[in-house]
Chains A and B, each alone.
Chain A
Amino acid sequence: MSHHIIEIQDLEFAYPDGTKALQQVSFRITHGESVALIGANGAGKSTILLHLNGCLFPTKGSARIGDVPITKSTLQSIRRTVGMVFQNPDDQLFMPTVYDDVAFGPLNLGFPLEEVQLKVMSALEQVGLAHVKNKSPYRLSEGQKRSIAIATVLSMNPDILVMDEPTSNLDPKSRRNLINLLQTFTHTKIIATHDLDMVLDICERTIILNNGRIVADGKTIELFQNADLLEQSHLEQPLRLNRLSSM
């Protein structure tokens, strides 16, 4: 298996009106790592994610996956390697049935119908939802929708999984199920999230973003002990690590 290393160098992104969303962003993520991207709303997490599969292109700097720079001409192969799961499952489940949604990716990649079937069933089994394949996405619970949204990406067999707020809006049980599921994945994972407790469970490395810049990049456990650092970035320590101060 070739190693797909994500390399972002001095990336800068500005909106058409000039406001800078990201500045001097650099990081390197190697095969199999699980990295959390945390920061306040508007810090730029989603913007970074959108650069990872070519939905956005930097105004300065570079982004590459392995040997391949992310450009307009390499998009198809980049998107085969990097699977992106967005925040709102309703925006990703746009086909009439679950099966159709999970099959969308492989069909676009050109696989014949029999192979598509295999990939779809395998992805659905991975998330434990093979039994809903003929249902309309509208009828699924929020947790099921999340899992199916992940399945729609898994069926393309990506090496890298990028996820934007995967646990938001989930009830505790569904959330726990999702965390357990993510723990079974051997893909490289990049997860933008507010759920710091989940980060402790899944991601050994964390990048903290503040106002479009990276202010910290290191071991999750170490960063999370630093309450001041978190607070400067408009964050808080996860509940688990909170010293219960006497009230």
Chain B
Amino acid sequence: MAALESAFLNLGHIETLARKQSKIHQLDPRAKLLTTLIFIITVMSFNRYDLSGVIPFFLYPVMILIIGDLPLIYLVKRFVIVLPFILFIGILNPIIDQNIIMKIGSFSISGGWVSFFSILIRAVLTVFAALTLIATTGFHEICIAMEKIGIPNLFAAQLLFVYRYLFVLIDEASRMVRAKSLRSFSRKGNGLKEWSSIIGHLILRTVDRARRIHLAMLSRGFDGEIRLAHKYVFQLKDILYVLGWTSLFMLMRIFNFSILTGNILQKLMP
């Protein structure tokens, strides 16, 4: 089951990356979360035909990548998985929007293609931003950060539980699927009956497991509130991090650095 195994390996790898000790890793997770969110919102606020204005924004993920010592290949792989979906949606644009809005030399480029590439570039930016966030912060730190920002305790705890038991459930599921496939010799694929049997059994085991977990929780004094064991103190470096990047994002949004550079270049040319 390729999907199951690849999900497995992927989550494990990201967690390993998140345990590194770079300067980025050591920042308060709330700072990183906030900055990433501001980044994504700013990038998405450009108009649909924008190509050059978003380019300078690559600085952010690249910097995180370098300082956080993250492997580029791995992140590219993760992105490639999402690529087909984006292409699929975006490709309709060039088909539908045929108005010429640009000319480079003797080439005319339609609005559809421009917006297509704009979508593509922005997809790269936002996906990388999200990936670098997790790879430098670790899932459960993000959950705790979210709780401290204001997400309800129950929901943050829910995220942690799901994450914790993800592997266990995927394991159980793949064992059941394997056992079933070993017993069905000529029949290919899962008919609805076999499938619902696997899923049904999985649910029952899940519910039983939940009951046992519940007993274990009660035995350790659980009273309904899930308390998380971390204290984060926002330090000066965290504040500077958020403010610094945010200011840069605002500048890059308001002044199109690419055009500035291009204009300077043209002035310099004879």
Task: Check if A and B associate.
Answer: yes
Interface size on A, residues (CB 8 A): 35
Chain A interface, DSSP helix/strand/loop, else mixed: helix
Interchain CB contact (< 8 A) of A104 among B163, B167, B220: B220
A-B contacts counted at CB < 8 A amount to: 78
Nearest to A76 among chain B residues (CB) is: B221
Nearest to B215 among chain A residues (CB) is: A55
Among B83-120, those with CB < 8 Å from A are: none
Q: Do residues B160 and A153 form an inter-chain contact, with CB atoms below 8 A?
A: no
The segment from A80-88, A207-215, A223-231 that touches chain B is: A80-88
Closest chain-A Cβ to B29's Cβ sits at a distance in Å of 13
0/1 interface trace, chain B 192-232, chain A, CB 8 Å (1 if under): 00000000000000000100110111111111000111010
A105–B229 alpha-carbon span in the complex (Å): 11
Q: Do residues A99 and B229 form an inter-chain contact, with CB atoms below 8 A?
A: yes
| Residue B139 at the chain A interface, CB threshold 8 Å | yes
Nearest to B15 among chain A residues (CB) is: A136
Interchain CB contact (< 8 A) of A108 among B15, B160, B220: B220
Q: Known interface pairs A113-B231, A116-B229, A138-B167. Does A94 touch B220 (Cβ–Cβ under 8 Å)?
A: no
Chain B interface, DSSP helix/strand/loop, else mixed: helix
Interchain CB contact (< 8 A) of B222 among A86, A97, A108: A108
| Residue B178 at the chain A interface, CB threshold 8 Å | no
Q: Do residues A138 and B168 form an inter-chain contact, with CB atoms below 8 A?
A: yes
Q: Known interface pairs A91-B212, A108-B227. Does A156 touch B163 (Cβ–Cβ under 8 Å)?
A: no
Closest chain-B Cβ to A83's Cβ sits at a distance in Å of 8
Q: Do residues A94 and B217 form an inter-chain contact, with CB atoms below 8 A?
A: yes
Interchain CB contact (< 8 A) of B220 among A88, A96, A116, A156: A156
Q: Do residues B160 and A95 form an inter-chain contact, with CB atoms below 8 A?
A: yes
| Residue B20 at the chain A interface, CB threshold 8 Å | no
CB pairs A–B below 8 angstroms (19 shown): A55-B219, A75-B218, A79-B219, A79-B220, A84-B219, A91-B209, A91-B216, A94-B165, A94-B213, A94-B216, A96-B140, A104-B222, A105-B220, A108-B220, A109-B221, A116-B229, A136-B15, A137-B164, A138-B164
